Structure 1
Amino acid sequence: MLAKANRITSADDYRSVVRRGAKVAGAHTVSYVRSREAGTDARFGFIVSKKVGTAVTRNLVRRRLKAVSFESVASGACGFDLVVRALPSAADADFTTLRTELLRAASDPRVARGSSASRRADVSSTPNAPVPNEVRGA
């Protein structure tokens, strides 16, 4: 389980990350990443709507995303907020695919720069951005 310091809990924090964060689109998730002060804990939030499936399916997807975020915190991630919105296709995605998408968003170079010019730009529009095989559907 994520520590309280690693969770986004207030609606205002969710809103600010989604509105002002860099958007990273994947096949099964849309992530919003916003940089914070250097040295602060990484914080994660999850949005899994009823469009994803029944309560059992939604909780499975949420638990998988939380497990990946726990891995990320354990490996020393810090200085950003990440909100992950699960798309309906996330219900059929396996753990490694969701892991790849979340880690790709967490390592987005726009967070390190804190660039506002590239805000809301899709990573897939970058010509040299590596795309994992799971995302391409290969």
Structure 2
Amino acid sequence: MLPAAHRLVDSDAFRVAVRSGRRCGSRNLVVHLDLQAPGDPARVGFVVSKAVGNAVVRNRVKRRLRHLTREHLPALAVLPGSAVLVVRALPASSRATSVELDADLRRCLTRVMS
């Protein structure tokens, strides 16, 4: 579970990160990263639509992504400004293994952070 300070729950922050941030897509995920004013900790939000599957499948995908992104919080903390990361799961993510999701997440994070 992500600590409360690192959860992105504000719909306006989601919208700003998706519209103005950097984006990288893969087979299973789309990652949006927006750097905002410094001071706040890095925050992470997830978008898992009904196209991914039923509620059980969507929650499983969210749990797996939450676990994987927790490992990347220290890297987001060293970025200039406050990082807002939005991870959008694509329908293929319901069939992907944790190793595949991790590889896609790492690749996309590397691209949006450079």
TM-score by length of 2: 0.85
Q: Could you tell me the percent identity over the aligned residues?
A: 36
The higher-RCO structure (CA 8 Å, 6+ apart) is 2
CA distance in 2, matches of 1:96, 1:39: 33
Q: How many correspondences in the alignment?
A: 110
Larger radius of gyration: 1
Q: Distance in 1 between matches of 2:52 and 2:40?
A: 32
Q: Which has the higher strand share?
A: 2
Which amino acid counterpart does residue 102 of structure 1 have in structure 2? L
Alignment of 1:84-95 (within 5 A): 84-95=87-98
SS at match of 1:50: coil
Map 1:52-71 → 2, pairs under 5 A: 52-71=52-71
Deviations, residues 98-126 of structure 1 (Å, cap 9, x unaligned) = 11222223333x545xxxxxxxxxxxxxx
* 8 Å contact kept, 1:47–1:83: yes
Give unmatched runs, 5+ long, in structure 2. none
Matching residue of 2:50: 50
Note the aligned Cα RMSD (angstroms): 1.8
CA contact (8 A) 1:47 1:84 kept: yes
Aligned partners of 1:82 and 1:106 also within 8 Å:
no
- Cα distance in 1 for residues equivalent to 2:46 and 2:62: 7
The answer for unaligned runs of 5 or more in structure 1 is: 113-138
1:23, distance to aligned residue in structure 2 (A) = 1.1
